[in-house]
Amino acid sequence: MTQTDDLRIKARLLFDAAVSAADPAHAVRRGFAQSPLPPQNSNGRTFLVAIGKAAPAMLREAMDALPDAHAALAVTHHENDATLTGADLMRAGHPVPDEAGARAAQRVMELLSEATEYDRIVALISGGGSALLPAPPPGVSLTDKARLNDLLLSAGLDIVQMNLVRQQVSQLKGGGFVRLAAPAPVYAYLLSDVIGDDLRAIASGPTVSPIGTAAQAIETLKAAEIWDATPDAIRKHLETHKDQTQPPLPDATNTLVGSNKLSLEAMQEEARHLGMNARIVSDALTGDVNDAADQVLAELIARPEPTALLFGGETTVKLAGTGRGGRNQELALRVAIRAQDIDARWVFLSGGTDGRDGPTDAAGGVVDAGTLPRIKAAGQDVNALLANNDSYAALSAGGDLLMTKATGTNVADVQALLIAP
Q: Give the model's pLDDT for residue 285.
A: 95
pTM for the full model? 0.79
By three-state DSSP, how is residue 298 classified?
helix
pLDDT tens digits, residue range 212-262? 999 999 999 999 999 999 999 999 999 999 988 888 999 899 999 989 999
What number is the average pLDDT over the span 86-98?
92
What number is the average pLDDT over the span 329-344?
95
Question: Any idea what DSSP says for residue 36?
Answer: P
pLDDT tens digits, residue range 174-184? 999 999 999 99
- Domain-terminating residue out of 234, 258, 282: 258
pLDDT tens digits, residue range 368-388? 999 999 999 999 999 999 999
User: Per-residue b/e over 187-209, b at no fewer than 16 CB within 10 Å?
Assistant: bbbbbbbbbebebbbbbbbbbbe
Q: Give the model's pLDDT for residue 194.
A: 87
Residue 319 predicted with pLDDT over 90:
no
Residue 180: how many CA atoms within 13 Å on its side-chain side? 22
CATH number of the domain at 279, please: 3.40.1480.10
What number is the average pLDDT over the span 162-172?
93
Q: Give the model's pLDDT for residue 408.
A: 84
On whether both 220 and 300 belong to a single domain, the answer is no
Domain that holds residue 102: 23-258
Band of residue 154 on the pLDDT scale cut at 50, 70, 90: confident
Question: Any idea what DSSP says for residue 89?
Answer: E
> Is-contact 40 119, C-beta < 8 A?
no
- Domain-terminating residue out of 204, 225, 258: 258
- Average pLDDT score, the chain: 94
Q: Report angle CA 99, 328, 173 to the nearest 5 degrees.
A: 35
On whether both 188 and 265 belong to a single domain, the answer is no
pLDDT tens digits, residue range 18-48? 999 999 999 999 999 999 999 988 889 999 9
By three-state DSSP, how is residue 348 classified?
strand
Band of residue 201 on the pLDDT scale cut at 50, 70, 90: confident
CATH number of the domain at 223, please: 3.40.50.10180
Q: Give the model's pLDDT for residue 118.
A: 95
What number is the average pLDDT over the span 114-124?
97
Distances (CA, A) of 229 to 147, 209, 232: 9, 28, 9
**Total number of domains in the chain:** 2
The continuous run of DSSP H or E covering 105 comes out as helix 99-114
Q: Give the model's pLDDT for residue 405.
A: 86
